[in-house]
Amino acid sequence: MKALCVFSGGLDSMLAAALLQNAGVEVQALFFETPFFGPARAERSAAVMGLPFKAVDITERHLAVVKQPRHGYGGHMNPCIDCHALMFRIAGEMLAAEGAAFVASGEVLGQRPMSQNRQALRIVEAESGLAGLLLRPLSAKLLPITTPEAEGWIDRGRLEGIQGRSRKPQMALA
């Protein structure tokens, strides 16, 4: 079983990828490049973890979302919900070509009050077109069961139930 892991190269995406690997899932690190974010850190982190890495430039589609975000801006012109939905939609479009069955993310329930609350996570999943196929390994035990869990592609017991803004649970897991 293979997953595309939307991968920033930060602690949360690295832990999400590691949880999947430890559960026997083949992980492809997938970074979305924009004028605001380059792939250097993600590429280094993927190399350290031995993950195959792919950077995809989504500038044109991303700028369209930034100019007119359906869900508005967060603090300091940060349309997180719309941008996350776009990234996951693009990852979903890539599933077949990459031979993957689902998409994973390092998102943590409640870590970002406006874009990672339960309602925002549901909106992102719905608007990405990945209903049931978007797994958030770090908070999975606190969220509805996904298709990978229901189908036995991954054991829910190997996933986490992290929530909130504190990084202590992630540091302990690392």
Instruction: Compute mean pLDDT per 10 residues along the chain, 174 residues long, and list them.
Output: 97 98 98 91 98 93 64 53 89 98 97 86 94 98 98 97 96 95
pLDDT at 76: 46
Other Cβ atoms within 10 Å of 98 Cβ, number: 15
How is residue 39 written in tokens? 């792939």
User: What residues pair up with 163 in beta bridges, in sequence order?
Assistant: 109
Whole-structure pTM value: 0.90
Helix axis angle, 118-128 to 80-98, nearest 10°: 40
pLDDT at 69: 58
8 A C-beta contact, residue 23 and residue 158: yes
pLDDT at 36: 82
pLDDT at 66: 66
pLDDT at 152: 97
Q: What are phi and psi of 20, to 5 degrees?
A: -65, -45
SS3 134: strand
pLDDT at 84: 85
What sign does the dihedral 155-43-32-72 (CA atoms) show?
positive
pLDDT at 90: 96
